[in-house]
Amino acid sequence: MIFIAGASGFVGGHLIDALLKNGYKLRCLARSDKVENSLREKGIEVVSGDITIPETLEGALNGIDFVIHLVGIIEERGSSTFKSVHVEGTRNLIAEAKMAGVKHFFYQSALGADKSSWSGYLRTKAEAEEIVASSGIPFTIFRPSLIIGKWDGFTKRLKDLIKISPVIPIPGTGKSKLQPIYINDWISCMLKALASPDSFKGIFEIGGPQQLTYNEIVKTLADVMKSKKTIIHMPMGLMKFGALIAEKTIPFLPVSSEQLRLLETDNICDMHSVEKNFGFNPIKYKDALKEFINE
């Protein structure tokens, strides 16, 4: 049986549908009644709990062979800090996995994870990786670049901005590069790891087949949306200041202040990483957008 923490998120939602379709038996962690009810309606066994509250995990992994840990946050809100979720939450889940005799542990990290990073997000992702790698449990860690697909927050916010704003603002020069990967391709990688865990031990960087600048990402999305609006470049300092003031009041703001800073650096890996490690070629960004953007 597979245990999933983070089943209600963008990646988790797509993954559980794929796993159910492939006949896997699932047990998922749920933090709210709404999520619990939604999962139960799909025939999934549910445990009510929170990885940041260790006592709620007691016994949750009994009889579990494979843990998939997808829980993560991209910005801190109240008590949900990078440290509490990424570091302490992972430590709690690993402790329970060790007691339950879990055979394999999967952790969803992020491309660029680094303990010396200025970014709290990337630094704590790296700290969580270290907890997983030193646990003694056979493990697989994915470090994906930007994952896109139906319901992904990044594309939705950018799409809303293109629809609502009279012009399309781009922070700074827009020349930093990302390597978007389609959620269906990420799932194909995950299914291969599940089918043969011993063949996928270690850390795997995952990116799509193109290294695109932020300019190219925005322009491609606008083209697929058939938007003819003018693209303008905003000074990064002004965007950061505006984000600090507005990110809590403007629901369609495409990025937080920390994410704006992350956009100043490349977030890329080997363009052939998926082909080399998983044996198939992921689809290009524009082709992926065409599959879901107008749904």
Read off the pLDDT of each residue in 235-246 and give the average, rounded to a whole number: 61
Residue 245 has pLDDT above 60, yes or no: no
Determine the pLDDT at residue 160.
92
Residue 200 has pLDDT above 90, yes or no: yes
Domain locations in the chain as residue ranges:
2-144, 154-175+211-266+283-292
Distances (CA, A) of 61 to 5, 103, 268: 11, 11, 35
Q: What share of the chain is helix, strand, coil (3-state, %, to 5)?
A: 45, 20, 40
| Percent of the chain predicted with pLDDT > 70 | 91
pLDDT tens digits along 13-67: 999 999 999 999 999 999 999 999 999 999 999 999 999 999 999 999 999 999 9
CATH superfamily of 2-144: NAD(P)-binding Rossmann-like Domain (3.40.50.720)
Distance CA 220, CA 180 (A): 12
Read off the pLDDT of each residue in 91-105 and give the average, rounded to a whole number: 98
**Nearest CA-CA partner of 146 in 213, 192, 225, 224:** 213
**DSSP class of 167:** S
Contact assessment for residue 20 and residue 191, using Cβ atoms and an 8 Å cutoff:
no
Which phi and psi angles does 57 have, rounded to 5°? -95, -5
Residue 248 has pLDDT above 60, yes or no: no
Residue 76 token pair: 């801190």
What SS3 class is residue 294?
Answer: coil
Read off the pLDDT of each residue in 146-157 and give the average, rounded to a whole number: 94
DSSP bridge partners of 2: 26, 66
Distance CA 212, CA 288 (A): 14
Average model confidence (pLDDT) for the chain? 92
Read off the pLDDT of each residue in 199-227 and give the average, rounded to a whole number: 97
Q: Name, in order, each residue with C-beta under 8 angstroms of 147's C-beta and a sequence gap of 6 or more.
A: 10, 11, 180, 181, 182, 183, 186
pLDDT band at 268 (very low <50, low <70, confident <90, very high): very high
Contact assessment for residue 71 and residue 128, using Cβ atoms and an 8 Å cutoff:
no
Determine the pLDDT at residue 252.
44
Determine the pLDDT at residue 259.
67
Residue 205 has pLDDT above 60, yes or no: yes
Determine the pLDDT at residue 209.
97
Determine the pLDDT at residue 264.
75
Residue 247 has pLDDT above 80, yes or no: no
**DSSP class of 284:** P
Read off the pLDDT of each residue in 150-159 and give the average, rounded to a whole number: 92
Alpha-helical regions (H) of the chain: 10-21, 33-41, 82, 89-100, 120-133, 153-164, 183-195, 214-224, 236-246, 257-262, 273-278, 285-292
pTM for the full predicted model: 0.92
pLDDT band at 238 (very low <50, low <70, confident <90, very high): low
pLDDT band at 77 (very low <50, low <70, confident <90, very high): confident
Determine the pLDDT at residue 251.
47
Residues recorded for the chain: 295
| Percent of the chain predicted with pLDDT > 90 | 83
- Residue 38: how many CB atoms within 10 A of its CB? 17
Read off the pLDDT of each residue in 71-84 and give the average, rounded to a whole number: 92
Determine the pLDDT at residue 246.
54
Residue 250 has pLDDT above 70, yes or no: no
Distances (CA, A) of 237 to 1, 171, 242, 286: 49, 9, 9, 30
Residue 219 token pair: 């322009």
Give the distance, in angstroms, between the CA of residue 261 and the centroid of all CA atoms in the same chain. 18
DSSP bridge partners of 232: 169
Which phi and psi angles does 278 have, rounded to 5°? -120, -5
